[in-house]
Structure 1
Amino acid sequence: MNDDNYVEWLVKRKDPAYAIPLKILMIVLCVISAFLAMQTIFGIVFLLAAAAGTYFVFLNMSVEYEYLFAEGGLTVDRILGKARRKRVFDCDKEDVQVVAPADSFVLKDYERQGAKVKDFSSGRKEAKVYALMYQKGADNFKVLIEPNEKMVGAMRRTFPRKLVM
C-alpha cells in the first residue's frame, strides 16, 4: 500500500453551548443527592442515579472524529469519551462527486438537489471546513470534514478532478 495515500486525522468537536451548564447542574445534583443519602435510604438511590447520569453526561460531551483516508475511500469514526468508537461514515472514491471548501460556489448546484448534511467538523469558526458531496444510490449527502494538508494532498492525488480548491 502506498503510504502517501493513507492519512489519519483526529478532530476534537467543540463542546456545545449547553455543555458547561449541564455539567454544573449534574455536579450540583450529585452534591445534593450525597446530602440526601446521609439522611434517607432513598437518598442512596438518588445518589446512584445522579452519579450514573453524571458519568454518561461527561462521557458523551467529549466527542472526537477520526478521519481515515486510504486507497481513495474516506472513513469517519466518532470517538466518545476517548474510549468508545463507532463508525459513522464510509465512502468509496467512486461515490464522491466533488470535494470543495464548504463556502465554495461549486457546491451551489449540489445543494439544490436536497442533500442531507452530515457534520463531522469541530464546529469552530476559524476551522477550514471542506464539503464532500457523496451519492449512494438515490441518496445525496453533504459531508462536512476538516482535513489537514496531508489529507487534502492525498485527495488531490487520488481524484484530482473532483477536488476543488
Structure 2
Amino acid sequence: MNDSYVECMVPRKSSPFSGLIKVLVYALTAICVLLAVMGLPILFIPAIALGLVIYFLLPGLSVEYEYLYLDKEISIDKVLNKQKRKRVRVLDLNKMELLAPDTSHELDSYKSRRIKIQDYSSGNPENKKHIMVYNGGNGTELICLEPNAAMIKCIKTVSPRKIFEY
C-alpha cells in the first residue's frame, strides 16, 4: 500500500468583538446569579438563559478547520472550541479540476462565472490560500483552503497536472 496521510489544522481568525462578547456574557451571568442569591430570585431566569447562551452559542466563536488527506480524499472537519468536532465535507480528488493559489490566473475563468465559494480557511488575509475547483454533486464549486506544503505535495503526487503553484 502506498497511502499518504497528512493532517493540517487551520484556526479561524476570530472577530475583534468575540472576546468582548464572551466577557460581557460571563459578567452578566455572574451579576444575575449574585443578585438572585442576594434576594432577587426573579433574576435566576436571565441567569439560566445566559448560562444556556454560554453553553450553546459561545463555543461557536472559537473555530478551527482540520484537513485530513488520506487515500485521494480530503476530509474537512470543523472543530468548535477545541472540543466538538463536526465533519463538514469529504472531497474526492478524482472530482477536483484544479488546485491553485487564490492569486493564480488559472482561476480567472472560474471567478468570473460567479460560482459558489465555500470558505474553509482562516479568514486571515496574510495566510496563503488555495482555491480548489471541485465538480461535486452540487455542480462546480470553488473551495477555499489553506493546506500546508506537505498536503500540497501529497496531492501533487496523485494528480500532478491539476496542481498549480503560481
Q: Distance in 2 between matches of 1:90 and 1:115?
A: 19
Q: Distance in 2 between matches of 1:21 and 1:58?
A: 11
How much is the aligned-residue C-alpha RMSD, in angstroms? Answer: 1.6
Aligned to 1:64: 64
Q: Establish whether residue 27 from structure 1 lines up as the match of residue 6 from structure 2.
A: no
Q: Distance in 1 between matches of 2:123 and 2:63?
A: 11
Q: Establish whether residue 85 from structure 1 lines up as the match of residue 98 from structure 2.
A: no
Shift, 1:13, TM fit = 0.8
Unpaired runs of 5+ residues, structure 2, are none
Aligned to 1:114: 114
Aligned to 1:12: 11
Q: Distance in 1 between matches of 2:31 and 2:138?
A: 53
Q: Distance in 2 between matches of 1:138 and 1:148?
A: 27
TM-score (norm 1): 0.91
Shift, 1:138, TM fit = 5.3
Contact 1:98–1:132 (8 Å) recurs in 2: yes
Contact 1:23–1:57 (8 Å) recurs in 2: no
Shift, 1:93, TM fit = 1.4
Q: Distance in 2 between matches of 1:18 and 1:135?
A: 36
Shift, 1:158, TM fit = 0.8
TM-score (norm 2): 0.90
How many residue pairs align between the two structures?
Answer: 164
Unpaired runs of 5+ residues, structure 1, are none
Q: Distance in 2 between matches of 1:68 and 1:123?
A: 19
Q: Distance in 1 between matches of 2:157 and 2:14?
A: 34
Shift, 1:141, TM fit = 1.2
Instruction: Give 2:36's aligned amino acid.
Output: A
Runs of 4+ in structure 1 displaced over 6 angstroms?
none
